[in-house]
Structure 1
């Protein structure tokens, strides 16, 4: 073959290649389905943290075993399950599941279901989905204050863990070195620089030990009063500002407020405990008690000035002439509290809620909405409608 003939043949081949009909595109190969998870795929157990959210435990378990949390969710759910592109975010979502899904989780984690239910509030019987089969739901946390989870202390729990709030927007870690908050997407305050806060926690534990849940409820009341004073720059405003500065919260004073008032909260709570004893007598004098509190704080306005305002509401709910009932001292102390106090499910500090219903961060002198039952007449609903309004049909004592 001559050089010319070879070149022509090569040219014809290139022409044919360029103008040839394209071959039909082949379908992309289907992604293989991941194999169902087995307990052997999760050899490392994330330690259980009492009060942790379910989503938090699943994320920590997945991280410990290099397993994506969405695979864990899908292993608990029968059928197709859509997970957000961002994945499971414990600070934004909680995982709810049915009883059968809980059994699947118990088998995967190689833990008894009862053990999981004791540790995780979201897995307790009353929180399980009432649906047949293995069902999992990824549910956003409600937007109202106190609904979102608290960022857990990384010193004595685990970095990245989240705790259920149970209506509390903040509380100190039991170690006393961190305050855990749920506002603003969750935050932590290092409080070890302020020993007074640690001492306040010790006093709180002592009061709870001595008086039981009633003592914790009085601390909740005192905390509400102190936050009222904080908002109005009363009683110990300069001292609270110094503590907030020491915590490095100059730009986030509202985050610091619940922590920096703690020592004064305990002083007031202990005084409230004395009034609870005094008011069992019909002739107990609220005016004399206010004078004692004013002297303890060295603030005359607590007795007859603007600083008295939040205590005036409290005394309306805790009047003289209480008639305690019950077989034990703890039962009698609890029975004489107003019905707006509800016995906490667990014992210990920062479990009870207050009978004073203003919300820190919202107006103290106006109503944000009108209660449809009492029209705002009841103290429970003076600031916003309360689920335990005494005029609500079917309302009963807590």
Structure 2
């Protein structure tokens, strides 16, 4: 039964970890104050039958009443908690609901990621879990890659500074582009996977060197997104440039209607420093993406927009076909419009670029 009036604040406060799951935060707060998980859950309004959540696979959803009570006992105001515990904003529990605290498994394909060990140092003995956004995460502060697909583990990136730099660029791309960046990153990763599986592009150079730095070979499929990450981000940035022009019906670099996008493919190869590999077959992965992202604005309308400018880089991109819906959680490859998957045979590839 929920008591009336504000609750007393617990003696020990849990510091904020941005992106932490509610289940993880509740476990930390309870542990700091010598409470069982269930005891803390009861204090904020859970039923007596509530069970302890497993933060590795479950989340605790809070209604507005439970959130206010958590703010009181934790010593953090509700706005502070909502900024830190981002899944609070996704709860569908209304203020009138009788069950203000609900423990549920994450949907299939969504798995929380352990926070970087450096970030979690000094926060208690239990792992800190963050809201799932994909099958891995990068900590630029401590140089760690946290993997979730093949069990929870972390990889130090001291020998791969380009991976950390790539993540900084990815964050910048997401900030400028908005949600659509997730679709572009998914497509770019699939293009890189195509290159990797066909042993094209950087396989004999930087990708092999990164595998050696990690101490893995081609059988370690979990490492492929890490190995190709810097090139993935460059391709995603290049895709964003083209999509900003497609959004106003223009071809790459403002060329006239019907102008070939072969120049864009060549430009991507030059940005990667792999022009020869691109010409030798690497272009096919990008052309497959171009087919799905063709410019569908009629020629007459394009001519009328001849002076239209591309969407500024500082403005988020609206979602375009074929990505009218972009999920914010789950495996990155499932967001992609490209059909092939890591570890599976390559599908037939188109050879003609989109106009």
Q: How would you bin the TM-score normalised by the shorter chain?
A: 0.7 to 0.9
Secondary structure of 1:155's counterpart equals: helix
C-alpha RMSD of the superposition: 3.8
Say whether residues 1:222 and 2:188 are aligned partners.
yes
Q: Aligned pair in 2 of structure 1 residues 360, 174: CA closer, same or farther (>3 Å)?
A: farther
Q: Aligned pair in 2 of structure 1 residues 105, 134: CA closer, same or farther (>3 Å)?
A: farther
In the other structure, the counterpart of 2:268 is 293
- C-alpha contact 1:55 1:95 (8 A) present in aligned 2: yes
In the other structure, the counterpart of 1:259 is 226
In the other structure, the counterpart of 2:155 is 189
* CA displacement 1:22-69 (0-9 Å, x = unmatched): xxxxxxxxxxxxxxxx96573111112221111010111122222222
1:121 to 72, 76, 86: 86
Say whether residues 1:142 and 2:107 are aligned partners.
yes
Map 1:275-294; keep pairs closer than 5 Å: 275-276=242-243, 277=245, 278-279=251-252, 281=255, 282-294=257-269
Map 1:100-111; keep pairs closer than 5 Å: 100-111=65-76
- C-alpha contact 2:113 2:148 (8 A) present in aligned 1: yes
1:356 to 337, 340, 354: 337
* CA displacement 1:256-283 (0-9 Å, x = unmatched): 2212212212332343344344435423
Larger RCO (alpha carbons 8 Å, 6+ apart): 2
Point out the structure with max Rg over C-alpha. 1
- C-alpha contact 1:224 1:356 (8 A) present in aligned 2: no
- C-alpha contact 1:240 1:257 (8 A) present in aligned 2: no
In the other structure, the counterpart of 1:319 is 294
2:321 to 314, 334, 338: 338
* CA displacement 1:77-106 (0-9 Å, x = unmatched): 4532142xxx43211211123332222222
* CA displacement 1:223-255 (0-9 Å, x = unmatched): 231123234433222432431332344598223
Map 1:164-175; keep pairs closer than 5 Å: 164-166=131-133, 168-175=134-141
Cα separation, 1, equivalents of 2:291 and 2:227:
27
* CA displacement 1:360-390 (0-9 Å, x = unmatched): 5464657xxxxxxxxxxxxxxxxxxxxxxxx
- C-alpha contact 1:74 1:81 (8 A) present in aligned 2: no
- C-alpha contact 2:113 2:152 (8 A) present in aligned 1: yes
TM-score, normalising length from structure 2? 0.73
- C-alpha contact 2:115 2:129 (8 A) present in aligned 1: yes
TM-aligned CA deviation for residue 134 of structure 1: 4.5
Say whether residues 1:199 and 2:162 are aligned partners.
no
- C-alpha contact 2:144 2:156 (8 A) present in aligned 1: yes
Q: Name the stretch that deviates more: 320-329 or 150-159.
A: 320-329
* CA displacement 1:286-340 (0-9 Å, x = unmatched): 22332343454436564463x4443223102322466799997358771484350
| Structure 1 unpaired stretches of 5+ | 1-37, 367-398
Secondary structure of 1:224's counterpart equals: helix
Secondary structure of 1:201's counterpart equals: helix
Map 1:4-153; keep pairs closer than 5 Å: 42-83=10-51, 87-124=52-89, 126-130=90-94, 132-144=97-109, 147-153=110-116
TM-score, normalising length from structure 1? 0.66
Cα separation, 2, equivalents of 1:57 and 1:365:
43
Q: Aligned pair in 2 of structure 1 residues 360, 100: CA closer, same or farther (>3 Å)?
A: farther
- C-alpha contact 1:229 1:235 (8 A) present in aligned 2: yes
TM-aligned CA deviation for residue 177 of structure 1: 0.3
Map 1:235-254; keep pairs closer than 5 Å: 235-238=201-204, 239-249=206-216, 253-254=220-221
- C-alpha contact 2:190 2:336 (8 A) present in aligned 1: no
Q: Aligned pair in 2 of structure 1 residues 288, 118: CA closer, same or farther (>3 Å)?
A: same
Cα separation, 2, equivalents of 1:254 and 1:180:
15
TM-aligned CA deviation for residue 157 of structure 1: 4.5
